[in-house]
Amino acid sequence: MSDGTAGSAAQHDPQKQFDLSQRRLTTRQGIDTEELTGRTFPYQFDPGLVEDIDLLAATPGDDLNWLEDIHLMEEDGIPAVFDRYTNAFLKIHFDIPSGREDEFARKVLIKHLQEGNSYGIWLKHQHAKFPQPELGPWLEGSATVGENWTPPTVERWDKTFTF
């Protein structure tokens, strides 16, 4: 477990930590990461960008913890890892060394989460009801979201009713 610096959490402005203007929320009902986010990410194409990720340091406990359930899978005939926070597959377009399939799937997923690119997590800015760290257990000192939640309103909805 990383030793957090006291006072580091909840101090960051999400607008400064990540460029939120680069995030667009979809109005479609697609189920793939690329369709939901409208883009791809460099680490889907370059193994060098994920090679150094320390999976043990990135997970609680003395082994891989939740990553034990993460395996390299396939979507549309392309290797992919499942992002449970978005309920979508993230495709991996580089050649994965034989025998290291699960390792690279896990590293790509952790990179995706640590860089704040999981679409389901983007939704926290709009829908989180309680104050919480945006990137939870993956990034020390991540922004706080959910502090200013307001109930959604439906256009032309009138609360007055009669019996």
Partner 1 sequence: MVAMNPPTDQETRGRNDIRGLAEPDAEAPKVARVEGGTATFDAADLSPRLVNLELRRLIYAEGIREVRIENPGAKHSIAVGLLARCRITINGSLGYFGATLGDGPEIHITGRVGWSVAENMMSGVVVIDKNAGSLTGAAMRGGDLVVRGHVGARTGIDQKGGTIVVGGNAGSMTGFMMQRGRQIICGDVGPGMGDSMYDGEIYVGGTVAALGVDCIEAEMTPEDEELLDRKLGIYRIDRPDTFRKFVCGKQLYNYDNLEPSERKLVL
Residues that bind partner 1 (CB under 8 A): 1-10, 31, 59-63, 65-66, 68-69, 73, 82, 84, 87-88, 129-133, 136-137, 140-141, 144, 149, 151, 159-163
Task: Name the minimum Å distance from CB 48 to partner 1.
Answer: 27
The length of the chain is: 163
Structure tokens, 106: 């896990």
Buried b (16+ CB within 10 A) or exposed e, 119-136: bebbbbbeebeeebbbbe
Nearer to partner 1, 14 or 141 (CB): 141
Nearer CB in complex with partner 1: 48/136 = 136
- Phi/psi at 99 (5° precision): 85, -5
Q: Least distance to partner 1 from the beta carbon of 15, Å? A: 19
Distance between CA atoms of 98 and 68, rounded to whole angstroms?
A: 19
- Minimum separation from the CB atom of position 31 to partner 1 (A): 6
> Of 23 and 65, which CB lies nearer to partner 1 in the complex structure?
65
Determine which helix (DSSP H) or strand (DSSP E) holds 144, and give its type and residue range.
strand 144-145
Q: Measured from the CB atom, is 50 or 70 closer to partner 1?
A: 70
Tokens of 9: 């959490």
